[in-house]
Amino acid sequence: MSRPDSALPRAGYLGPEGTFSEEALLGSVRISAVQPIAMETIRDAVIAVQESSVEWALVPIENSIEGSVTVTLDTLAAQAGDVEIVGEWVLPVRHYLIAREPIEYERITTVVSHPHVPGQCRVFLGEQLANARVTAASSTAEAVRLVAEHESAGSGASGDGEQWAAIGTRLAAELNGCVVIAEGIQDREDNETRFVWLARKDASAGPPPLRSPEGPGRKTSLVFWGAGAGQAGWLVLCLDEFARRQINLTKIESRPMRERLGQYMFFVDLDGSLSEPRVHEALAGLQGLCEQVRVLGSYPTA
């Protein structure tokens, strides 16, 4: 695959080559207009934007089966105050079982993948690989690379030792000289992952050069917390700021603040833009109830 000129704006993603993140990046942006930069972890991609090492990053934030990608939420909330969401992209996700050579399911002893993936393939793993150990890699592409190296290091498909397989992309299999031994192993055919484009709030590069037009709607994402969280009805009062203004919340979830047991921050996605008076008023009301309200982004829907 040819890469664009290094003088182009940089776009970070969870690498190495062959991940779903790379697939989402190549599908969502005009690749001739950016320089893709592979990052070792999702956190690294977010922090690279915070530190201006890249102009943009594309990171997963939510899967239709497994729910939120918590490392993305936690890093945005706690470590990337100068970063905002500027767009989103939804990628249909199809998982492949990959090995160095063709091998029967019953001989596989270890399955390697990104921690967020096995939960999307519970049925297949439970029915076909119930006795296999599931272990984590930093990405699906890294999982395939580890399987390729493990097999080539002497445990070959014809031996009696540990037999490894990975859950990853077809591209990762091709890049690492591996073979697909099962395809479409996700629990649902409509499995999708939502990715978000990130940029610094003071960025001069503008929005990423997306391939397709922006969606007709706008979405606003925010996180809030406060000392009032320990009082009965506090969360209801917070949510009422949106309900009485007829603002639809498309997502709400809590995450521990990692300070003391029982302390949480709340992430919300809502239909509407910060430029709408009702959204602006709701946020003003919310700020009166909370210790901290942070807008993570107000951006076009996919």
Q: Around Cβ 19, how many Cβ atoms within 10 Å?
A: 26
**Phi/psi at 89 (5° precision):** -150, 135
Domain match, 61 and 196 both: yes
Q: Is the pLDDT of residue 1 over 80?
A: no
Q: Is the pLDDT of residue 40 over 70?
A: yes
Q: Is the pLDDT of residue 60 over 70?
A: yes
Domain match, 76 and 144 both: no
Domain match, 34 and 60 both: yes
Average pLDDT, the chain: 90
- Say what the pLDDT of residue 153 is: 47
In a domain, 269, yes or no: yes
Q: Is the pLDDT of residue 284 over 60?
A: yes
In a domain, 292, yes or no: yes
What CA–CA distance (Å, rounded) separates 148 from 144? 6
- Say what the pLDDT of residue 155 is: 47
Contact at 8 Å (CB) between 187 and 120? yes
- Residue 270's nearest CA partner among 205, 224, 212 is 224
In a domain, 213, yes or no: no
In a domain, 1, yes or no: no
Domain match, 121 and 262 both: no
3-state secondary structure of 289: coil
The residue from 200, 234, 250 where one domain ends is 200
What CA–CA distance (Å, rounded) separates 117 from 174? 20
- Say what the pLDDT of residue 148 is: 94
* Chain segment 122-151, per-residue pLDDT in tens: 999 999 999 999 999 999 999 999 999 985
Domain that holds residue 253: 218-300
**Mean pLDDT within 206-229:** 83
In a domain, 71, yes or no: yes
* Chain segment 68-97, per-residue pLDDT in tens: 999 999 999 999 999 999 999 999 999 999
Domain match, 103 and 82 both: no
**Mean pLDDT within 204-221:** 81
What pLDDT band is residue 160 in, cutting at 50, 70 and 90? low
CA-based end-to-end distance of the chain: 26
Question: Residue 156 corresponds to which tokens in the numbers above?
Answer: 């070959």
Q: Is the pLDDT of residue 250 over 80?
A: yes
- Which residue shows structure tokens 């076909």? 128
Count of domains in the chain? 3
pTM of the model: 0.87
Size (the chain), residues: 302
Among the ranges given (80-94, 103-117, 142-156, 228-242), the one the predictor scored with the smallest mean pLDDT: 142-156
Domain match, 167 and 104 both: yes
Question: Residue 191 corresponds to which tokens in the numbers above?
Answer: 């499995």
In a domain, 3, yes or no: no
Q: Which residues contact 251 (CB under 8 A, 6 or more apart)?
A: 62, 267, 268, 269
What pLDDT band is residue 32 in, cutting at 50, 70 and 90? confident
What pLDDT band is residue 302 in, cutting at 50, 70 and 90? confident
**Mean pLDDT within 16-35:** 92
CATH of the domain at 258: 3.30.70.260
Domain match, 227 and 296 both: yes
Looking only at the bridges linking them, the beta strands covering 67-68 and 96-99 are: unpaired
Q: Between vectors from CA 212 to CA 249 and to CA 191, what angle results, nearest 5°?
A: 55
CATH of the domain at 42: 3.40.190.10
Q: Which residues contact 263 (CB under 8 A, 6 or more apart)?
A: 225, 229, 256, 257
Of 3-7, 47-51, 205-209, 253-257, where does the model show the most confidence? 47-51
Among the ranges given (10-14, 216-220, 226-230), the one the predictor scored with the smallest mean pLDDT: 226-230
Q: Is the pLDDT of residue 4 over 60?
A: no
In a domain, 208, yes or no: no
In a domain, 47, yes or no: yes
What is the DSSP secondary-structure string of 182-232?
Answer: EE--SS-TT-EEEEEEEEETT-SS-S--BSSPPPSSEEEEEEEE-GGGGST
Domain match, 42 and 85 both: yes
The residue from 158, 174, 200 where one domain ends is 200
Domain match, 63 and 196 both: yes
Domain match, 66 and 196 both: yes
Q: Is the pLDDT of residue 290 over 50?
A: yes
**Mean pLDDT within 94-116:** 95
